Amino acid sequence: MIHKMKILKRAWILLLAVLLLPRLLMAETHFVEAETFTPSADGWKAVGANEVRRASRAKTMWGADGSGDAIATKSVTIQQAGKFNIWVRWMQVSAWRGPFRVSVSAAGREVASKTFDLEMRPGVADWDFAWQSFEAQLPAGEVLLTLTKHEQKNCVGYVRQVDCLLLTTDQELKPNHVSFGPQTFLRVTVGDGYQRPVYLHLFADHYRDPWYGHHAIGKAGLRDELAPPADEMFKDGEQSPWSNISHVVYQDSGASLNCSLRHSYQEKADRLRATLEFGRARNGNADDIEIMKTFDVEALPNGLVVIVPPDLESPKNIAILQRDRDFAEETGLFADAFAWPTIGRRPTRIPFFVSANIGGYELPVDAAVKAREEKTLDNFGFNGDHSHTLHGLWIMKKDSYCRPDVDGMRERIKHDVEAFHKSGRKLDDIAYCMLMDEPTGQSASFMAQDDGYRDRFSAWLKGLSISLKDLLEPDWEAVRPVIETQRDQHPALHYFTQRFRTVAIGDFMATQKKIIEEAYGRSFPTNVNFSDGAVYHANFYSQGIDYFELLNRDDSNAIWGEDWSNNASTYQCAGFNVDLMRAAARKRGQTIGHYLITYSRTPWDNKLKATSETARGVRQWMNFAYGPSWGSHEGGPAWKSALWYSKPKEWTANAEITREIGAVEDWLLTAKPTPAEVAILYSSSSDIWTMNNFSYGFDRMHTWLALTHAQTPVDIVPEHEVAEGQLAKYRVCYLSGPNLTQAAAVKLKAWVEAGGTLWLTAGAASRDEFNRPLDTLTALLPAERGELVVHEPYQASGLFLHHLLTRDTVIWNDERLEVLSVQQPQAARANATTLATFADGQPAVVAAPAGHGRIISVGFLPALSYIKPALVARVPLDQRADAERLAAALASEARAATENADQPLATSAVVSVTNSPSSLAIADKELLNRSLSPWRYPAGIRERLLIPVREAKLTPPLTCDAALVDAVYLPCEQGVLIALANHTLSPIPQLKLRFQVARRAIRVESVHRGPLPFEQTAEGEIEIALPLDASDWVKVASE
């Protein structure tokens, strides 16, 4: 009966095809790529930018810029007059409109037209392409398609992206651009030795959204399913028909095909023995397939990864079509001949892991491939990977941190523990447990709607002994989390709501930690990986994670971050983020771990980050990400991957980083931070109240940067430690941001009166944690401060600070500083000294004694004046370099288009071509290639920021004759360890260091240079000199 039904079904399909055939044969269809239109002027351009990668062949005709009256035209020859649907595919972005008009004319007369993108189309995803049509009665012969700009106006550059057009008389045709592009085919022949039927399962990674897809190939061909029906399964030696996999292989990114032979989706065969043939349609004829590459596969265990390009239409793309073994062997040959660093050694005590995935997605590959890749990876000196870590139990009810699903967690951990022991892994090898990647605090709007948050919020406040009077509320029924727009009506609740964002995630983490420790019977450093939002916006509360709140509890034992520093003013700001972690962990000694983001970064930058961040307290590392490029979607398609597996120019730096840490790890494990005499007061209450203007946080961050550039040891001290009297050990304190808790203000005043030097920027310490006026310091101030003027609230990241407009100029002796974002007028008191003035002569910087101490009141944000010139200096160089690279690429494209290339272009995994700008000054070109950070910082402005340090006559434990070298002095049991990170970005032939040691030195040794000559004075001072490239470590051994 089943067999008869299948025959009947196939008969119906055949009949349907016969009935439709006349319509298909009679329909006339023309597919036109918009980028083939001819522009009349520069107002329309063919582009292939990243945002249009979903376009047909990843290119569009773009009309947002240039001449407003420009048009673009294309002729099409119509074979037979008739009614046509004219379909247009274009990209929609919800935030902006880019209206354009498509018209069709014949014999000089317009026949039909339509204007697109006048309004948002529902049902279309943001930044995606969609089809829309209009009808036209077209005559036979030539017709002209024309693109024009609506009302001849330009628009935002992200829109007015026209992809392709389809003219058809088939009124039922639903257009799909993939059908009209290059077609890729796959045929599978199963080998022998299978006792039961099998099929080929394909898990496709597309490197972009939609990220993944499951597909199956059996005797009847390709199905977009987990498995084919039983009667389509292969037996030994059977072959599939040619399967069109064009929709599986994206036109911009191709696909990574994770292949395995399976008896069912849940059951894999022991091995993979098959032949995979990839082909293309000869002359566009799908019945005539030209074989382009064949893989005869014998894989044990059963797993294969094949990297497939967007199409097989060019020699270049055919060369891209490779399997895992091709990559492994080619890269391995290069690694075997590579000149590996000989300095230092592999670390054994400090976990320095690497993010490496040798295989597919939960798919082991052939043992020989794995062994070859492991041999290559071993050269870098890492001492572990993700197998040395545990994961978390991020399970909650109603998506609320305040509703942990404890039962679900306990059920999950049972399976996790069982799987762990079955895997053969050992608890002694586990370095840490990472609960989640990049979580944030939940938003106030979510909290305000969640009963779980409301209950826990009230309980938390009562546990802190906060009274209704403190909360400024009439009764406990009114106490609840409030949204940001209610902050003025409920200032105390707003303050505590924002703090509770961190408390809630901390509680949720602690619940998981307890269950995990109970299940495994021991404790691990337990963390989550926090995104570096503290760098991106210089404000904890842009992501709702306040390190000081998070680690100020006994059930927290670790913190972890990452140093992407995307859009940071300089990658050195990643060190500021680690210093924040160090400050938050200072009281309880939590373990600090970090991802070292090494791909899409230069070798020099990676070495600087690793050195500076290790010196500031990172003691667990994960290098992210190695690859291999064929085993992960991270870094993009394998043939143009950003992962450093495929970039041998980055191999030396990554291998040196591990060896440097290994050489000094015994010292690092006994190292203590340098006792600092300078503090930066971190006001979390200011972060809470200034989320509408990140300028204050960036002033704080770049104050730290200036101090670091001058080798001045500095600690970041949170408000609650100030309130506990922890400022007593510091002689200088810097404070930016208008808000400060009343408790901290009282202790800050007492500290100044006892002899401290305080640097206050515009508006600092003028309001309390509930944003009420705060006059605790007013009587001590050297000036009467006027109303704070917010010229330009800043809401972007640090990289774009140079866009802030100059609102005034500060004249400070021979220096000119820009007033950016905010400004505060000041009237100097009788006993005060005016150090600098605004352009109108009014006081800008005023100083005076305050008790036994001193206050310097600054009426602007001077550290913004330090970073902006550095960014401005680099911008035109980057622009020129980008223009030259683009010109070189266009010239190369033009040459390639006119040449008859018989040989495939180089697509080797170990070949990397750098398009270096050619007309820039050699020195500038080298610096641009060496780092993505600025290097021309204004020394005079830096000295102005250091005035409190100079006036206090502080003596740092180490001095260096080159600014911008991050020289970190670390006392150790063995003596003194000095970390050197060269942010000048140029090799220094001889760097001179002078430093103090408590005991007589017996040996001074550089990791890179070996033993160094030295002399020690009777006062215990040592001076040494050594060449410095990117980084080094100096060990000063004492008796």
Task: State the pLDDT at residue 1020.
Answer: 84
878 in Cβ contact with 917 (< 8 Å) = no
927-955 mean pLDDT: 96
Task: State the pLDDT at residue 918.
Answer: 54
**3-class secondary structure, 722:** helix
**3-class secondary structure, 259:** strand
**Tokens 């100030």, residue located:** 722
Task: State the pLDDT at residue 898.
Answer: 53
Residues near 434 by beta carbon (within 8 Å), at least 6 away in sequence: 389, 390, 391, 392, 527, 528, 529, 560
Task: Please state, in angstroms and rounded to a whole number, the distance separating the CA atoms of residues 738 and 765.
Answer: 5
Joined together, the tokens standing for residue 745 give 């203000």
Cis check: omega of the bond before 281, within 30 degrees of 0: no
In the chain, % helix, strand, coil (3-state, to 5) comes to 30, 30, 40
Task: State the pLDDT at residue 894.
Answer: 63
Task: State the pLDDT at residue 583.
Answer: 98
Task: State the pLDDT at residue 18.
Answer: 39
Q: Put residue 1023 in one of left, alpha, beta given phi > 0 → left and psi -120 to 50 → alpha.
A: beta
Which one, of 772, 704, 711, 784, lies nearest residue 738 by Cα? 772
Torsion of CA 768, 773, 777, 783, to 10 degrees: 140
How many Cβ atoms sit within 10 Å of the Cβ of residue 888?
14
**Tokens 């044990």, residue located:** 300
867-878 mean pLDDT: 95
| Confidence check: pLDDT of 650 > 90 | yes
Task: State the pLDDT at residue 1019.
Answer: 81
How many Cβ atoms sit within 10 Å of the Cβ of residue 606?
25
Task: State the pLDDT at residue 221.
Answer: 97
Over pLDDT 90: what percentage of the chain?
A: 90
For residue range 244-302, list pLDDT tens digits in order.
999 999 999 999 999 999 999 999 999 999 999 999 999 888 899 999 999 999 999 99
For residue range 599-612, list pLDDT tens digits in order.
999 999 999 999 99
DSSP per-residue letters across 521-589: TS---EEEEE--HHHHSS-GGGTT--HHHHSSSTT--EEEEE---TT-S-TTHHHHHHHHHHHHHTTT-
Joined together, the tokens standing for residue 284 give 């566009």
For residue range 201-250, list pLDDT tens digits in order.
999 999 998 999 999 999 999 999 999 999 999 999 999 999 999 999 99
What's the alpha-carbon Rg for the chain, to the nearest Å?
33
Which one has a higher pLDDT value, 893 or 638? 638
338-362 mean pLDDT: 97
Mean pLDDT of the chain: 93
Would strands 1031-1038 and 1001-1006 be described as parallel, antiparallel, or unpaired? antiparallel
DSSP per-residue letters across 56-69: GGG-EEE-SSS-TT
Task: State the pLDDT at residue 883.
Answer: 83
Task: State the pLDDT at residue 283.
Answer: 86
388-393 mean pLDDT: 98
Task: Please state, in angstroms and rounded to a whole number, the distance separating the CA atoms of residues 573 and 675.
Answer: 21
Which one, of 894, 357, 931, 261, lies nearest residue 638 by Cα? 357
How many Cβ atoms sit within 10 Å of the Cβ of residue 954?
17
Which one, of 729, 739, 728, lies nearest residue 761 by Cα? 739
Task: Please state, in angstroms and rounded to a whole number, the distance separating the CA atoms of residues 656 and 609.
Answer: 13
Task: Please state, in angstroms and rounded to a whole number, the distance separating the CA atoms of residues 530 and 545.
Answer: 8
Task: State the pLDDT at residue 169.
Answer: 97
Reported as a pLDDT band with limits 50, 70 and 90, residue 331 is very high
| Confidence check: pLDDT of 916 > 80 | no
Query: Per the confidence metrics, is the pTM higher than 0.95?
Result: no
Task: State the pLDDT at residue 887.
Answer: 77
